[in-house]
C-alpha cells in the first residue's frame, strides 16, 4: 500500500490532538494533587506558626495527599487581605478571622455549622464566647478556635515593694498601688492611643465594670451618656494622671511591650505574649511577670475584651469539599489539642474539653486567660453583632472619649462627643 507523506494539515491535526491530550492529562494530574491555601496573621507566638508549617500541614499531606499552603500576613494587615479576597473573590481558600469578621464577611463565607457541631461534640462543647462572634443568622460562618485574652500584666517584685503581694481586686485598689508605684519610679503603661488591641483591651472592660454601655442590647438605643460613664471617665483621668506617663496617649500596640521589656512600667494590659517572650529572651523579667484578671468596678463585676479567633472558608474556593475536610481534620481532638499546645494556650481554647488540659499546667501563670473567658465580650456588647460595632471601634469612639479626658477635656464634653458619634454611627447602620 503506497504511503503518502503527511500533509501540513495532517501535521496540524496531530499537533492539536497531542496538545489536547497533554492538557487533559495535566488536569488529571492537578486533580490528583489538590492544594489549598490557609491565610493567617503572623502569630506573636512563633512556635504556633512553626507547628502549622512543619507538623500539621505535612501530616495532612501524608494522610490525604492534599497540599496546604500557610500564607502568613503581617500583624495588623490581615483584615485588608481578607477584604481584598472577599471583594475580588480570589485568593486563599480559607482564612483566620478575628473579632466580628464572620459577621462582616458573612456573604462571602460558606456555612460550616456541621464542622463546628462535630468539633463541639467531640471536644466537650463550645464556650459561649466562641460562638458569640461566628454565628450569623443561625449559621456558623467560622469554626471557633481560641481567644487571645487581654489581661493585667504586673511586676510582682515592684508591687511587693509597695506592699501589694497579690494583684488588687478593684480599680480603686489598682489606682492606690499605681500611685505608690509611680512615686517609686515604676509607673503604669496602659495604651490610650490608636492601636488595634491593647487600648480596647482595658477601656471597654473599665466602662462595663462601672455599669456603663455604648448601646442597649436592642442594638439601637445609645446609652453612653450616663452617670456610670461619667464615673468611669473621671476614674480613668485620675488613673492616668496618678499612675502613668503622658506618652501612653500616643501609644500603639508595640509600645507597652517595649516599655515592659525595657523595665519602664510596672503594670499594663496585654495578651500573654509579653511573658512568652520575656521567658525566652529576658528570663530575669520573665520571673517577675505575672497575670491577673481585670479589676472589678463599683458594680462588683469584672469584664474582659473578647478577641476570638476562628477559621472560615471563602465561597470562592474552587474546592469547598477539600477545604471543609481540612478544617474538619484540624478540629479533631488529636490535632486541635496539639495545635493549642504549640502556642502555650495563647489562643485560649473555646472548646470546653480543653479547660483542664495538661497544656495549661506548662505555665500556670497563663491560667487567668482561661478563667477570663466567661466574662469576655466583644466591643459594643451587649448589642448583637453589627457593622456599627465595627465602625465605632474603627473610629476609636470609646478609646478617644477616655483619651481626651485624660488629656484635659471635661467629662461632659467627651461624653457628649462620643454620644453624638455613636448616634450617627448606629443610625446609619
Partner 1 sequence: MSASTLPVPPRTASGNRTLGRSRFREWTEKEAVFSWLMIGPPILFLCAMVGYPFLYGCYLSLMHRPVATTGEFIGLGNYIANWNDPVFWRVARNTIVYTLVTTFLKAVGGLGLALVMNQSFPMKNFVRAALLLPFIVPTVLSTIAWMWILDPTFSVLNWLLIAAGVPAPGPSWLGNPVLAMCSLIVINTWRGLPFYAITLLAGLQTISPELHEAATTDGATTWHRFRYITLPLLQPVLFIVTMFSIIFTFSDFQLVYVLTHGGPANATHLFATYAFDIAMSAGQFGLGASVALSMLPPLALIIVALAIYMRKR
Q: Contact positions toward partner 1, by CB under 8 A?
A: 79-80, 83, 86-87, 104-108, 192-195, 245-252, 255, 258-259, 262, 264, 387, 390-391, 393-396, 400, 403-404, 407, 417, 420-421, 424, 428
Which of these, 55, 69, 99, 35, lies nearest to 336 by C-alpha position?
Answer: 55
Task: Rank residues 12 and 394 by Cβ distance to partner 1 and give the closer one.
Answer: 394
CB 418 to partner 1: min, Å: 11
35-41 sheet: strands from edge to edge: 67-73, 35-41, 94-97, 308-313, 143-147, 348-349
What minimum distance in Å lies between the beta carbon of 394 and partner 1? 4
Kindly tell me which of 183 and 258 has the beta carbon lying closer to partner 1: 258
- The answer to whether the CB of 129 falls within 8 A of the CB of 308 is yes
Q: Are 292 and 365 in contact (CB under 8 A)?
A: no
Distance CA 33, CA 159 (A): 58
Kindly tell me which of 38 and 422 has the beta carbon lying closer to partner 1.
422
Matching residue, cell 460562638: 131
| Dihedrals phi, psi of 224, to nearest 5 degrees | -70, -30
Least distance CB 380 / partner 1 (angstroms): 12
Nearer to partner 1, 64 or 83 (CB): 83
Cα separation, 134 vs 125, whole angstroms: 15
* Contact indicator for 255, 191 with CB cutoff of 8 Å: yes
CA 282/CA 320 separation, integer angstroms: 45
56 neighbors 26 (Cβ within 8 angstroms): no
Considering the complex, state which of residue 293 and residue 306 has its C-beta at the smaller distance from partner 1. 306
Smallest separation (angstroms) from partner 1 to the CB of 401: 9
Provide, rounded to whole angstroms, the least separation between the CB of residue 214 and partner 1: 15
Between 255 and 342, whose beta carbon lies closer to partner 1? 255
Does residue 343 sit in helix, strand or coil? coil
User: % helix / strand / coil in the chain, to the nearest 5?
Assistant: 55, 15, 30
Q: Evaluate whether 65 touches 32 at the Cβ level (below 8 Å).
A: yes
Residue closer to partner 1 (CB basis): 215 or 330: 215
User: Least distance (Å) from partner 1 to the CB of residue 405?
Assistant: 9
- The CB-of-375 to partner 1 minimum distance in angstroms stands at 25
Amino acid at each position: 500500500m503506497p504511503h503518502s507523506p503527511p500533509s501540513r494539515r495532517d501535521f496540524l491535526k496531530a499537533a492539536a490532538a497531542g496538545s489536547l491530550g497533554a492538557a487533559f492529562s495535566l488536569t488529571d494530574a492537578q486533580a490528583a494533587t489538590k492544594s489549598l491555601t490557609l491565610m493567617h496573621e503572623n502569630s506573636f507566638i512563633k512556635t504556633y506558626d512553626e507547628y502549622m508549617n512543619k507538623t500539621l500541614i505535612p501530616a495532612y499531606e501524608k494522610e490525604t495527599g492534599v497540599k496546604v499552603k500557610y500564607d502568613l500576613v503581617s500583624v495588623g494587615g490581615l483584615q485588608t487581605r481578607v477584604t481584598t479576597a472577599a471583594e475580588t473573590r480570589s485568593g486563599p481558600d480559607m482564612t483566620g478571622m478575628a473579632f466580628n469578621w464572620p459577621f462582616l464577611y458573612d456573604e462571602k463565607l460558606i456555612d460550616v455549622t456541621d464542622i463546628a457541631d462535630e468539633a463541639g461534640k467531640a471536644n466537650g462543647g463550645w464556650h459561649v464566647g466562641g460562638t458569640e462572634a461566628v454565628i450569623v443568622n443561625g449559621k456558623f460562618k467560622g469554626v471557633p478556635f481560641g481567644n487571645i485574652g487581654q489581661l493585667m500584666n504586673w511586676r510582682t517584685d515592684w508591687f511587693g515593694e509597695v506592699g501589694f503581694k497579690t494583684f488588687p481586686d478593684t480599680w480603686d485598689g489598682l489606682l492606690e498601688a499605681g500611685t505608690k508605684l509611680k512615686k517609686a519610679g515604676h509607673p503604669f503603661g496602659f495604651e490610650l492611643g490608636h492601636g488595634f488591641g491593647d487600648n480596647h483591651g482595658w477601656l471597654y472592660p473599665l466602662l462595663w465594670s462601672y455599669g456603663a454601655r455604648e448601646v442597649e442590647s436592642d442594638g439601637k438605643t445609645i446609652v453612653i451618656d450616663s452617670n456610670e460613664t461619667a464615673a468611669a471617665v473621671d476614674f480613668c483621668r485620675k488613673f492616668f494622671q496618678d499612675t502613668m506617663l503622658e506618652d501612653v496617649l500616643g501609644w500603639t500596640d508595640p509600645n507597652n511591650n517595649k516599655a515592659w521589656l525595657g523595665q519602664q512600667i510596672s503594670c499594663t494590659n496585654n495578651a500573654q505574649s509579653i511573658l512568652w517572650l520575656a521567658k525566652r529572651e529576658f528570663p530575669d523579667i520573665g520571673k517577675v511577670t505575672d497575670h491577673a484578671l481585670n479589676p472589678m468596678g463599683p458594680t462588683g463585676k469584672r469584664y474582659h475584651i473578647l478577641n476570638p479567633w476562628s477559621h472560615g472558608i471563602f465561597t470562592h474556593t474552587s474546592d469547598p469539599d477539600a477545604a471543609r475536610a481540612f478544617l474538619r481534620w484540624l478540629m479533631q481532638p488529636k490535632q486541635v489539642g496539639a495545635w493549642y499546645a504549640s502556642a502555650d494556650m495563647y489562643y485560649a481554647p473555646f472548646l470546653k474539653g480543653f479547660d483542664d488540659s495538661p497544656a495549661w499546667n506548662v505555665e500556670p501563670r497563663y491560667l487567668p486567660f482561661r478563667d477570663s473567658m466567661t466574662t469576655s465580650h466583644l466591643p459594643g456588647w451587649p448589642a448583637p453583632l453589627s457593622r456599627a460595632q465595627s465602625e465605632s471601634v474603627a473610629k476609636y469612639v470609646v478609646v478617644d472619649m477616655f483619651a481626651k479626658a485624660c488629656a484635659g477635656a471635661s467629662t461632659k464634653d467627651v461624653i457628649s462627643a462620643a454620644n453624638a458619634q455613636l448616634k450617627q454611627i448606629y443610625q446609619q447602620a
